[in-house]
Structure 1
């Protein structure tokens, strides 16, 4: 029997076969291992390529009185030097507020702000020349911390306020109150591949810019405005990034614009690649936050009233500080119902790098504040923090009155009760809590700590119109498929997932589908790959495109073999129609000869979203992702050194598109979040220079910091929302899981004085900070005697 008439039962039935929900390797995994994956700096250079470097400010806040660039121009290999006056179009790369100059025009506002760009015949010659500038300044007062910004009423945008209920009356009926202030530091993205753009001039004012960016469309706009041309003159391409974490969403614009400006002037290709030191000095990071809080609660620890004022270090310009602050306000509740709440968010203007997007985008900074408060409440009441957390959880989905967020969105998919209960049992939390306390009672120096913290994280861009995506799917006559979408691959596996979606839709193996570089000439007007929406949006768009082709093929198959179009199945490389199983490639070839269109575009816009930026009220999220983690640490109270002994994480990825990739994302997010809260300390000297601007002074987690016992599991769930195959996002939410590490450390420190006092411990909890906290708790205990 030939394949054309092969009975349906001899192949895998469409109802059984699937390409989504399967653990598949990352589409570039082999290339990564072999060193064959092409990043922007690996692209073969066009003949005549030049290299650029930036001249940076050495002052935090100053007027430039004079600038002598003769030594720069006369340095070996230098071809040209450009300043702000050489920008043909608009000197701005601000993503929202136009307050971020590409090059300073006389006023510098942080140490490391670009003043000029030098172009030379080699990367090293350009860097050496950039340091030869003779610049004199008139120094101005500098603001460096969010506390100073608040005192000076220095903000990049007006204050943001979110209220619900009557907080004053709620405080009046609260039996207990906790009040204090706290500080959480920022975090460097520390992507493996630094900022880089390679601009190649084309005919008729065209410009090809190969850029390591999470937002090709924004790069297209910034470059077009800087050159004074239309968007259709600019083509931005990104095959892959060596990490992004938000640092290449808006902040890649400066590098792309300067490479393009230089290339346009010289009519030659120009590459601008940042050295690590320059990258860290120039670019913004995760916003640090300072909090002042007051919370009223009852004898059980249930929160009755909550008031918090959070001030972020925005840096010298607005960048994405407004949406970061908005998300922090929306995530202050985390998994807890807050009936009467008052949240004030301030974006402090400081003379430091303009802080920007970072994995979690303000969500972690909002959620950790309430976790710190709950931790305080539990210790004040002498209760296990887990019990206080559970009593404050949002109500189950049928419990009216305790399932509406402070911004008005109803929580209809709450699984935090069941998820935490499962983790509490599987991690043996209660038994280990007793064991930790027994260990501490007999160990005067080494102290153990244990904590379980939950996560609820909203998925979608807060700005509604960003929740859209497009895709192109091409089916070739040999049955192979090429997909292009608006998302960018930064190692997170978006291309793998999108290819799985397309393969599943067309009923073919993943090996038959390939993703191409993200390209503004293929899919226009794309959103950034951010907010954990990459697979959600682009997966849906690609599915839409593939489904259109599938319907065309199904209609054609019915014409050839009879039957009903609705019963045509696609699975395992075959098309099943009227008791026939035709190889997919064979049907495609026949369709081509019959002039059936074998390519299609696709589009998706997330439904049901709305947000009022004035009232801070609406439905900003499509759904919520949930999770929880238990961490056990041991702390040396004589040195402040600590070690994570074991971590158990349970994460709700819905019906995972690719469990292997999702588990990897959870593991990576956990360690990255742990670094933020424990070792990654940003430090500016009195002159405003970032001193932690290299791996020698900035400590990211290493393999030795990972726990020997690391248990990560995906929670069995199905998304209530109509997401792509009912999966859930997994990029940002798991970064909140290592809250448990910080609070386990705090738990260990509290044991020094019998858990009777709340240790003052800011984040990151470096060994130095831990030691100071131990000393403070010991002093409290001595004073109480």
Structure 2
């Protein structure tokens, strides 16, 4: 008998991304690669050229008469509801009817024979406005009385007033944390193909196919079952394609159904950046009390956010900022208040971390303040404030969830040792003490990140698994592939469960036709939710196969075992595909729909209490920088990372996620500056004016390790942990290291209070400010 080899590509193995070779060779299909049927038309948006104003008149006659134009879509062409708000607040029209609320707001769409013709025609509109005052920043919005919501979240525990009364030291300050553009390789795109009756198929680049389906149906005035949304893969998402794709899907579908012809819309990069939302920027006020050892006794902090003109996802984003305002630290007495503000800017949206990184940055600023005030190493202050356990009672969050899986102490201790932090910090202090133009800094920062959607109903997933009669397997699930390797991981789970090789699994596009009511691939939950849904489907099929084996061979259930590409049934060993053929001939059902919902979680927003997170992911990074005190320019000399992903489903993919998240987080805090002029125009709207990190910006030495001893205490898929968002916060170590380098110019007597992003200009200004203070 042929030897039975081990299963290739099962869970916990290093397996290359299933699309990697195709992507490198240019053979991976994206929405823009779909062959266009004869008669395909192209759409482009016409946008506002004022920041805030009443629409007095809009003459589109020149647009309609332009060469190649077939039709122009306005609010009058919406047969259903003129709204694509993801939260149901009805404050985000497809096309405005009375006023525009940010510069670049879509007002109409041109449908033409070619994209170029549509783009040129969109510039010909004659619009008359009554210009109104505008507000661009959260502080100005707060002064103008423009809160976005009337029920901002407050998290409170302990007695804040008593805490301040008892505190030995007290510091207050304010920090500005900038926003960030998603800057994906593939921008927004939607391609709608009309069908009979109410039907329409929409191919698009979205993280949330079901929401796009619901929004298109909502706008068209048809039931959800008339709309099919397909997503094969995305060229990056990062949260920007969770809700922002709604508009483009709606416009393409409107045009397709009106004209009964396929319609594609793909804005250029400039319009993509001006018309779609960003990471929320925050202005954070903090007031804290602490003792002589640097232990925090009380925190009172307020988080004002620039949300843009509509609600979008700003409510939950600003909520999550509060959930992570503790980062890895215990606050005995705490009050955290959210203050989301409406502004005349594009509506900000989800971005990797979903507000969590902004909260964590505030926590690290407070640690830094304490360290400078007491003249201590910030790492010493961090360790003094880490969450504890049930033995010391220092394990309850501001939202009253008990931290049960705390490993941050071990993570930090191991990284401190492997990165040789203490010796390097000593050498840096000695280097800076000599003076000179080049100053150095080092910082080791932690992350504790909660995993689950705080909107509890999103913590569910479905999957569909078919085993065909030749033994090949078809896998479909509700998650979307945006380059993170989700499909590869879930196929590994299926392969291991069936004990077959990975190559036997066919991973197909995400489509609302196969798995309904999906949740967004967001909140780092893609593998957790969809992996367990797929496993549920596999276990159903396996149970039927075992029952068939028992019936056909006259053995007991424990005599049936799935082995690599075979089954052992009593004394018989039979190839998997041979047995599948037998089962098919015996009319055994070889298909199953799986389902999973996250257990244990609950959240009462009104009281600010509950268990919003199933578990926490932990990590730490140590970064060393060098700055030029004459120019403010800097470089990252070295970064060491130790990150906790539980028992990794695919270590090499997880390492890639950690590396990418760190670099993206580093970019957010250093070079990626969004800038609006006084007229409300976004000036950083292209790669020429908006600087993401380049290959040359990465750390010169970059060491990334996974905590291979970790295993999730909760029953997640294969005891793994989420990896998409938590390592983004590791970039904070760069900001903190820059702060140390800047502080050296006045012998570390003053906290530099660097704003983020800490561009070279801001670093130089901080250096000059501290030199002036002496």
1:416 corresponds, among 408, 419, 444, to 408
Cα contact 1:485–1:542 (8 A) shared by 2: yes
Distance 1:535 1:662 in 2: 12
Q: Distance in 2 between matches of 1:774 and 1:577?
A: 74
**From 550, 554, 570, the counterpart of 1:558:** 550
Which digits, 9 at most, give the CA deviation of each residue in 1:412-458, with x for residues without a partner?
10000111100000000000000111111224110010000000000
Corresponding residue of 2:347: 354
Match of residue 7 from structure 1: none
Instruction: Pick one of 235, 256, 263 that aligns with 1:242.
Output: 235
| Aligned mate of 1:223, from 216, 229, 237 | 216
Q: Secondary structure at the match of 1:576?
A: strand
Residue 61 in structure 1 maps to residue 52 in structure 2: yes
Question: Which of residues 747, 752, 764 in structure 2 aligns to 1:759?
Answer: 752
Question: What do the CA deviations read for 1:589-645 (whole angstroms, capped 9, x no partner)?
Answer: 111111111111100000001001111210000100000000000000000000000
- 1:624-773 pair list within 5 angstroms: 624-716=616-708, 717-773=710-766
Q: In the aligned structure 2, how far is the partner of 1:338 from the partner of 1:550?
A: 49
Structure 2 residue aligned with 1:780: 773
1:93 aligns with 2:74: no
1:209 counterpart = 2:202? yes
Q: Provide the rounded CA distance (Å) in 1 between the counterparts of 2:676 and 2:750.
A: 31
Per the alignment, do residues 475 and 447 of structure 1 end up closer, same or farther by CA in structure 2, a change over 3 Å counting? same
TM-score if structure 2 supplies the norm length?
0.98
**Would you say the 8 A contact 1:18–1:571 is kept in 2?**
no
Map of 1:282 onto structure 2: 275
- 1:27-38 aligned at under 5 Å gives the runs 27-38=18-29
Task: Report deviation, 1:73.
Answer: 0.8
Alignment of 1:178-189 (within 5 A): 178-189=171-182
User: What CA distance in whole angstroms lies between the structure 2 residues aligned with 1:56 and 1:358?
Assistant: 24
The corresponding residue for 1:6 is none
Determine the C-alpha separation between the residues in 1 that align with 2:445 and 2:21: 36
What is the CA distance between 1:572 and its match in structure 2? 1.8
CA deviations 1:555-607 (Å, max 9, x no partner) are 22233444431353223211122233211111101111111111111000000
The TM-score, its normalising length taken from structure 1, stands at 0.97
Give deviations 1:704-732, integer Å, cap 9, x for gaps: 00112100000120000100000000000
Q: Does the CA contact (< 8 Å) of 1:12 and 1:571 recur in 2?
A: no
Q: Are the equivalent residues in 2 in contact too, given 1:758–1:777 (CA < 8 A)? A: no
Ranges of 4+ aligned residues in structure 1 off by more than 4 Å = none
Specify the SS of the correspondent of 1:680. coil
Shift of 1:761: 1.1
Aligned with 1:83 (options 66, 74, 78): 74
Q: Name the SS for the 2:79 alignment partner.
A: coil
Distance 1:252 1:722 in 2: 33
Tell me if the contact between 1:302 and 1:392 (Cα under 8 Å) persists in the aligned partners: yes
Does the alignment pair 1:25 with 2:34? no
8 Å contact kept, 2:153–2:605: no
Q: Is the 8 A contact 2:477 2:510 kept in 1?
A: yes
Following the alignment from structure 2 to structure 1, what is the Cα–Cα distance between the partners of residues 77 and 559? Answer: 64
Aligned counterpart, 1:294: 287
Alignment of 1:391-430 (within 5 A): 391-396=384-389, 398-430=390-422
Q: 1:514 to 1:382 in 2, by over 3 A?
A: same
Q: State which of 122, 130, 141 in structure 2 corresponds to 1:130.
A: 122
Could you tell me how far apart the structure 2 residues matched to 1:604 and 1:356 are? Answer: 27
Asked if residue 49 in structure 1 is aligned to residue 40 in structure 2, the reply is yes
Q: Tell me the equivalent position of 2:244.
A: 251
**Counterpart mapping for 1:339-738 below 5 A:** 339-396=332-389, 398-716=390-708, 717-738=710-731
What is the distance in 2 between the residues matched to 1:466 and 1:432? 45
* Pairing of 1:101-116 with structure 2 (within 5 A): 101-116=93-108
* C-alpha contact 2:646 2:721 (8 A) present in aligned 1: yes
| Separation of aligned partners in 2, 1:555 and 1:504 | 20
Q: Distance in 2 between matches of 1:454 and 1:660?
A: 22
CA contact (8 A) 2:463 2:530 kept: yes
Q: Are the aligned partners of 2:619 and 2:644 in contact in 1 as well (CA < 8 Å)?
A: yes
1-structure distance, mates of 2:409, 2:207: 35
Q: For 1:362 and 1:767, how far apart are their aligned partners in 2?
A: 25
Check the 8 A contact 2:75/2:96 in 1, yes or no: yes
Deviations 1:712-753 (A, max 9, x none): 000120000100000000000000001000000011000111
Structure 2 match to 1:191:
184
Distance 1:55 1:18, change over 3 A: closer
Contact 2:476 2:507 in 1 (8 A): yes
Distance in 2, matches of 1:427 and 1:715, equals 14
Aligned residue-pair number: 771
1:21-64 deviation digits (Å, cap 9, x = unpaired): 00101010111011010000010001100000000001111001
1:780 positional shift: 1.5
Partner Cα separation in structure 2 for residue 352 and residue 27 of structure 1: 39
User: Does the residue aligned with 2:336 lie in a helix, a strand or coil?
Assistant: strand
Q: Write the distance in 1 (CA, Å) between the matches of 2:194 and 2:123.
A: 27
Shift of residue 760, structure 1, vs aligned partner: 2.9
- SS of 1:626's equivalent in the other structure is strand
Secondary structure class of the residue paired with 2:662: helix
Q: Distance in 2 between matches of 1:640 and 1:561?
A: 77
SS for the counterpart of 1:131 is: helix
The C-alpha deviation readout for 1:627-666, integer Å capped at 9, x for no partner, is 0000000000000000000000111000000001000000
Q: Does the aligned pair in 2 maintain the 1:757–1:780 contact within 8 Å?
A: no
Q: Does the Cα contact within 8 Å between 2:4 and 2:565 map onto a contact in 1?
A: no
The Cα shift of 1:515 comes to 1.0
Root-mean-square deviation (CA, aligned residues, Å) is: 1.1
For the residue of structure 1 that corresponds to 2:124, the secondary structure is coil
Look up the SS of the partner of 1:135 in the other structure.
strand
Query: Is the contact between residue 760 and residue 776 of structure 1 (CA under 8 Å) also seen in structure 2?
Result: no
Superposed counterparts of 1:139-178, under 5 Å: 139-158=131-150, 159-178=152-171
* Unaligned segments of structure 2, at least 5 residues: none
2: CA distance between counterparts of 1:510 and 1:588? 17
Kept after mapping to 1: 8 A contact 2:9/2:501: no
Deviations 1:142-184 (A, max 9, x none): 0100110111121111232111111001000000011110100
Q: CA deviation at 1:106?
A: 2.1
Deviation at 1:477, TM superposition (A): 1.4
Q: Could you tell me how far apart the structure 2 residues matched to 1:160 and 1:636 are?
A: 42
Cα separation, partners in 2 of 1:760 and 1:400, compared to 1, 3 Å:
closer
**3-state SS, counterpart of residue 300 of structure 2:** strand
